[in-house]
Structure 1
Amino acid sequence: MPKSLFRLAVLAATIAPLLSWSARAEVVIGVDISSTGPAAAIGIQTNNAIRLWPATLGGEPARYIVLDDGTDVSRAVKNFRKLTSEDKVDAIVGPNITASALAGLDVLAETGTPMVALAASAVIVEPADDPKRRWAFKMPQNDSLMASALVQDMRSKGIKNVAFIGFADSYGDSWLAEFSKAANGDPKIVAQERFQRTDASVMGQALKAIAAKPDAVLIAGSGTPAALPQKTLLERGYKGLIYQTHGIGTLEFLQVGGKDVNGTLFPTGPGVVARELPDSNPVKSVAVAFADKYEAQYGPNSLTQFAGDAYGAWMLLDSAVGRALKTGAKPGTPAFRTALRDALESTTNLIVPNGVLNITKSDHQGFDERARVMGVIRDGRFSYAQ
């Protein structure tokens, strides 16, 4: 073979893999969830919904790489680095907890990779013009939206004093701040107690809360650990109303709480109580369609807030990927990740199981009041309250 042709053959062999990578035919999404560890109940519900994700995004073939972070922040960051550097994902869905989402922001900024978090706190996406948070979006409703729903319900019931028992972490911090802001002294917070997700007892916190003689107690926790303060309050004779956050939305919470959590009031995404919603609710048809799909696979009354958020993440990406592809950018390239980020940021009137999304440059969450209803636990299941 002539030398000139040999050089061309070598060059073609070298460039071909690069061309195939840069013009990848499939969209690749990395997923980081807590399938094990303290937040496993949330991660399992998330994973159930992910198994229902269609095999396409924006009409193109899609591949999903799902990793477990064990509810460990450092492991979540390692997963982020693997997904971005080795797997070259176009976007990341997850994590389930706020601390892990915050820890991953540096990786997003370094690699220019959009994230759709499945954790609740607004600090993940606010302020949206922060260079790190420019790449961060999230599905769960901001705590401020849910806190105002609680305050409205408390006021309608004539509640004047509230005791607060929350996680001693960013979740509890956010809820205390947002509830205090929404209440503005009406109702008044008469006790503030904290506990760890892994605590085996909260007797001291419960006794202090009861001693403040509140009309109601707000427990700001998520998953099964949120049941412990409620059970302890009842054991010590508390008779008032108990409110929880939308973080309780797992079947395991119902199982662990048993009869002690009946009557619990909580804000929730409409998808959790889809079939009980009034027909006038703008989310009902989409929420019911997802409930039918989910419960056909996992059984009656198995749908949770976290499953709805995870499926909503696919719907959001499906919409955004379709619009990003129209720019001409190809999956697997930095240009496509940027186009996808821009498309996520321009999502308009997208109905997902837990609300209607309108994402903008200043709001990387995008829900309004249509994304919340009040729920109540009746006979061991999540039900619609109003």
Structure 2
Amino acid sequence: MKLAAAGLRVLASTMLLLSQAQADIKVGVVVSASGPGSSLGQPQMRTIAALPAEIAGEKVVCIALDDESDPTKGTQNARRLVIQDGVDVLIGSSLTPVTMPMIDVAMESKTPIVSLAAATSIVQPIDDRRRWAFKVVPNDDLMAAAILRHVAASGVKTLGYIGVSDGYGEGYYAEVSRLAPGLGLTVTTHEVYARSDTSAIGQALKVIATNPDAVFIASAGTPAVLPQEALRTRGYAGRIYQTHGVATEDFIKLGGANVEGAVFAGEAFTIADDLASEDPFRRARDEFVAAYEKVNGSRPNIFAAHLWDAMTLVRQAAPDAMTIAKPGTPEFRIALRDALERVRDVYLNNGVSTMSPQNHNGYDARSAFLIKVEGGKFRLAR
């Protein structure tokens, strides 16, 4: 009887292991592939085909939906993914305003969400809601501090501000206005424009009227060209600083000579060619680029890298979670959230990530690089 009982336990354990081995890891992806955020979401959607097909021997099933840059649509997509498709983790959205209500869905369903958007408010302060949210784009405070230290060291005393009128722009303005006084900087303006606007001339003229030593622009993708173009064509000759949201080839192509000389604090991905071949940041970039080019036949940009990095975090955490429960169960989703908090020193395209219960972004000063548009290319500013 003892032998029979032992045999049954072995059989039960074997059946459990087999059921775990046959359980797919379902990943629900929501990106802004259309609408004002399409310059971010389209490259992310193209990254889907490059993502790994398995994690620790388990098949990965990605279900990708377009939120059309609309918070309501993003929330609907998130609810569909957790209720109808039973995903183990949500990734998205591309935009902060779309991400924020998705966090409510994550909390209600106890499903971890890894955002591709930028605002610090997605992961701070940690509370019952945000404990389910993680983020691969460096927080505003990290990048703002790096670029403002550089601005102050360059002798600038007065700084004009133009930003997009959403969570990204306002998040950066909050950091700039908070950090500037301690660095001896005076912010002379707070001008905003919508991502969908076709001109920022009015905002540029108001900034120029304050005669600042330099101007800080907080925008992302091709919309970031508008204020810098307006400033240059209206005769502003001072220094112009941007954010890591401009790190796309389209920004340079559309801006041309008007964006030459722009400086920003950004991720290693953008200047990886200026790093040594053995640098861990460059190795992370090279792995992603090779996978992306294989399925798309073209080079990716930093927004595509956000999605790759989000999946890299899932790849790091999932094996740990699978020792506790099998994919497709509430227990696995909780275990995956807990495992994401234990990620340590993972080199991503966006930075080196070490998560904790108090920090769901995980980056430090090693992740911020000074970058300059020089000769029509993004170069490491030395």
Report the TM-score when normalising by structure 1: 0.89
Name the counterpart of 1:153. 150
Return the offset for 1:259.
Answer: 2.2
Name the counterpart of 2:379. 383
Return the offset for 1:254.
Answer: 2.4
| Correspondence for 1:118 among 112, 116, 119 | 116
| Correspondence for 1:368 among 361, 364, 370 | 364
- The residue type paired with residue 343 of structure 1 is A
Q: In the alignment, is residue 131 of structure 1 matched against residue 128 of structure 2?
A: yes
SS of corresponding position for 1:230 = helix
After TM superposition, what 4+ stretches of structure 1 lie above 3 angstroms from structure 2? 20-24, 278-282, 291-300
Q: In the alignment, is residue 346 of structure 1 matched against residue 312 of structure 2?
A: no
Q: Is the 8 A contact 2:21 2:58 kept in 1?
A: no
Return the offset for 1:350.
Answer: 1.3
Return the offset for 1:189.
Answer: 0.7
| Correspondence for 1:167 among 157, 164, 171 | 164
Return the offset for 1:192.
Answer: 1.5
Return the offset for 1:346.
Answer: 1.0
Counterpart CA distance in 2 for 1:61 and 1:132 is 29
Return the offset for 1:297.
Answer: 5.4
Q: In the alignment, is residue 201 of structure 1 matched against residue 229 of structure 2?
A: no
Pair 238,307 (structure 1): closer, same or farther in 2 beyond 3 Å: same
Return the offset for 1:46.
Answer: 1.5
Name the counterpart of 2:59. 61
CA displacement, residues 308-345 of structure 1 (integer Å, 9 cap, x when unaligned): 22111111100111110011x01111000000000001
Counterpart CA distance in 2 for 1:102 and 1:95 is 9
Pair 219,347 (structure 1): closer, same or farther in 2 beyond 3 Å: same
Equivalent positions of 1:1-386 (< 5 A) are: 25-128=23-126, 130-184=127-181, 186-278=184-276, 282-295=280-293, 302-327=299-324, 329-386=325-382
- The residue type paired with residue 145 of structure 1 is L
- The residue type paired with residue 229 of structure 1 is P
- The residue type paired with residue 284 of structure 1 is R
Q: Is the 8 A contact 1:21 1:332 kept in 2?
A: no
SS of corresponding position for 1:131 = coil
Instruction: Determine what percentage of the aligned residue pairs are the same residue.
Output: 39
Pair 295,254 (structure 1): closer, same or farther in 2 beyond 3 Å: farther
Q: Is the 8 A contact 1:96 1:117 kept in 2?
A: yes
CA displacement, residues 11-70 of structure 1 (integer Å, 9 cap, x when unaligned): xxxxxxxxx999961100000001111110111222233321110123311000010011
Counterpart CA distance in 2 for 1:271 and 1:106 is 31
Pair 82,23 (structure 1): closer, same or farther in 2 beyond 3 Å: farther
Counterpart CA distance in 1 for 2:70 and 2:189 is 30
Q: Is the 8 A contact 2:49 2:295 kept in 1?
A: no
Return the offset for 1:202.
Answer: 1.9
Q: Is the 8 A contact 1:23 1:331 kept in 2?
A: no
SS of corresponding position for 1:311 = helix
Q: Is the 8 A contact 1:38 1:198 kept in 2?
A: yes
- The residue type paired with residue 118 of structure 2 is A
- The residue type paired with residue 362 of structure 1 is Q
SS of corresponding position for 1:163 = strand
Counterpart CA distance in 1 for 2:84 and 2:22 is 15
- Structure 1 gaps of 5+ residues are 1-19
Counterpart CA distance in 2 for 1:368 and 1:41 is 27
Counterpart CA distance in 2 for 1:235 and 1:282 is 41
Return the offset for 1:96.
Answer: 0.5
Return the offset for 1:127.
Answer: 1.5
Number of residue pairs the alignment of both structures matches: 364
- The residue type paired with residue 288 of structure 2 is F
Q: Is the 8 A contact 1:271 1:291 kept in 2?
A: no
Counterpart CA distance in 2 for 1:59 and 1:314 is 15
CA displacement, residues 50-91 of structure 1 (integer Å, 9 cap, x when unaligned): 321110123311000010011111100010010011000000
- The residue type paired with residue 143 of structure 2 is M
- Structure 2 gaps of 5+ residues are 1-17
Counterpart CA distance in 1 for 2:198 and 2:161 is 19
Return the offset for 1:293.
Answer: 4.0
Q: Which moved more, 1:271-280 or 1:32-41?
A: 271-280
Counterpart CA distance in 2 for 1:280 and 1:65 is 35
Counterpart CA distance in 2 for 1:22 and 1:282 is 33
Name the counterpart of 1:13. none
- Alpha-carbon RMSD across the aligned residues, in angstroms, is 2.0
CA displacement, residues 102-149 of structure 1 (integer Å, 9 cap, x when unaligned): 111211111111000000111111122x11111100100000000011
- The residue type paired with residue 312 of structure 1 is D
